[in-house]
Structure 1
Amino acid sequence: MVAAFLDGFALGFSLILAIGAQNAFVLRQGLRGAHVFAVCLACALSDAVLITLGVAAFAAVEAALPGIAPAMRWGGAAFLLAYGALSFRRAAGPAEALEPARAGAASLAAALATCLALTWLNPHVYLDTVVLLGSVSTQYAEARPVFGLGAVTASFVFFFALGYGARLLRPLFARPAAWRVLEAVVGATMWAIAAKLVVFP
């Protein structure tokens, strides 16, 4: 059970680590100190709902459509390879410093609306949570709920660490080299996950 939890945590954390619009928004809210708790909670709860849906329903979908798991696995691997390649490309290209904090922070409603739109309207979120985590969870039989709990825990840890730790990172990410290193790490992580999907189905 502990191994299933740690696997879920590791895979969930690796998938969510990739820089995207949602993470950039949380990071900027953290740098501004604006509605950090509400934004982090909205992102984490959204992930929890989607991960639970994937872990609970993917096995039933696979039973009804036996060929969907291999197709999803190969499709997910292809997506991760492409996403990793983009990260490596960004790492090799010009890096941009974080945008500075604006004087007027948006209202709580506006911040939450933006956060939820970046989450629920992003197709990559569904691929990561419902499809990838859901398909991998089928390998854990009775431990699937524990695997899902590990992935949900990773989301809470990541978003709150990102939101509240952002101010500590501001001096570091003012340097383009820091962005290049982070993008390279993200690219390597995505390729490693893709390889695992293909080599260890």
Structure 2
Amino acid sequence: MLESYLTGLIVCGGIIVAIGAQNAYVLSQAIRQEHHWWSAGLCMTSDVLLFSLGMFGVSAALMAMPEALNALRWLGVLFLGWLAIQAFYRVIIGRAALKAGEGRTATLKGVVLTTLAVTLLNPQVYLDTLLLIPAVGAQQADGATFLAGASSASILWFGGLAWAGSRLAPWLATPTAWRVIDGVIGLMMSAIALQLAIGGL
């Protein structure tokens, strides 16, 4: 049982860290302290639900609908490209230092919708959570314990991002730091979008 749990924790932790769009968005919200726990919580919940669906055989249905995956691929390219353009625009024009409770803040509804879009419009999320992870889980002695380990990885990672980002806010919420952060976010979103557009799934 412990081996299955640790396998889920380590394997899924590595995969979650590699899904850059979610990480970049949660971290940026945490630094701005704009509903970052809502954003992190939605990412955790989505992962747990998708892991569970994958373990219960949704992967077979997903593979049977290549057209849906292809449509999702191009939606992801467009959305991630738009996020990249916004980030690069902020790099060019700059923005005032943002501190907790100051400046223009995002609405809870906007944060929730963007988090869901970053999560659900990225085809890589489905491939990882519905195909790759269940394939590893199927080889474990205890599937339920593996699922618990995978879920723990998501909760620990996104919880850590939300906490660390908010703690670092006083040092990172400066115009220069924000230009660097937005530049990194823009490059990350662009790279994922290009990978999807050129390399496909």
Per the TM alignment, residue 168 of structure 1 is displaced from its structure 2 partner at its CA by 4.0
Residue number in structure 2 paired with 1:40: 40
Residue number in structure 1 paired with 2:160: 161
CA contact under 8 A between 2:51 and 2:147: conserved in structure 1?
Answer: yes
Per the TM alignment, residue 121 of structure 1 is displaced from its structure 2 partner at its CA by 1.0
Q: How far apart are the structure 1 equivalents of 2:41 and 2:106? A: 17
Cα deviation, 1:111-139, whole Å, max 9, x if unaligned, reads: 00000000011101011111110111110
Residue number in structure 1 paired with 2:20: 20
Cα deviation, 1:44-76, whole Å, max 9, x if unaligned, reads: 0000010001112168x49xx9xx9xxxxxxxx
Report the TM-score when normalising by structure 1: 0.62
State yes or no: 1:128 paired with 2:128. yes
| Amino acid of the structure 1 residue aligned with 2:163 | Y
CA contact under 8 A between 1:137 and 1:148: conserved in structure 2?
Answer: yes
Three-state SS of the structure 2 residue aligned to 1:147 is: helix
CA contact under 8 A between 1:28 and 1:101: conserved in structure 2?
Answer: no
Q: How far apart are the structure 1 equivalents of 2:13 and 2:98? A: 27
Q: How far apart are the structure 1 equivalents of 2:98 and 2:28? A: 7
Residue number in structure 2 paired with 1:147: 146
Per the TM alignment, residue 37 of structure 1 is displaced from its structure 2 partner at its CA by 1.5
CA contact under 8 A between 2:19 and 2:125: conserved in structure 1?
Answer: no
| Unaligned stretches of 5+ residues in structure 2 | 65-90, 189-201
Q: How far apart are the structure 2 equivalents of 1:29 and 1:19? A: 17
Per the TM alignment, residue 167 of structure 1 is displaced from its structure 2 partner at its CA by 3.6
Following TM superposition, the consecutive aligned residue runs of length 4 or more in structure 1 with deviations greater than 3 angstroms are 99-102, 167-172
Give 1:42-191 correspondences, 5 Å limit.
42-57=42-57, 61=60, 101=98, 103-141=103-141, 143-169=142-168, 171=171
CA contact under 8 A between 1:58 and 1:135: conserved in structure 2?
Answer: no
Q: How far apart are the structure 2 equivalents of 1:112 and 1:58? A: 25
Per the TM alignment, residue 169 of structure 1 is displaced from its structure 2 partner at its CA by 4.6
CA contact under 8 A between 1:9 and 1:151: conserved in structure 2?
Answer: yes
Cα deviation, 1:142-173, whole Å, max 9, x if unaligned, reads: x011101100111011001001111445658x
Per the TM alignment, residue 101 of structure 1 is displaced from its structure 2 partner at its CA by 4.0
Three-state SS of the structure 2 residue aligned to 1:105 is: coil
Q: How far apart are the structure 2 equivalents of 1:48 and 1:101? A: 32
Per the TM alignment, residue 14 of structure 1 is displaced from its structure 2 partner at its CA by 0.4
Q: How far apart are the structure 2 equivalents of 1:149 and 1:104? A: 39
Residue number in structure 2 paired with 1:187: none
Percent of residue pairs identical? 35
| Amino acid of the structure 2 residue aligned with 1:147 | F
Three-state SS of the structure 2 residue aligned to 1:39 is: helix
CA contact under 8 A between 1:26 and 1:163: conserved in structure 2?
Answer: yes
Residue number in structure 1 paired with 2:75: none
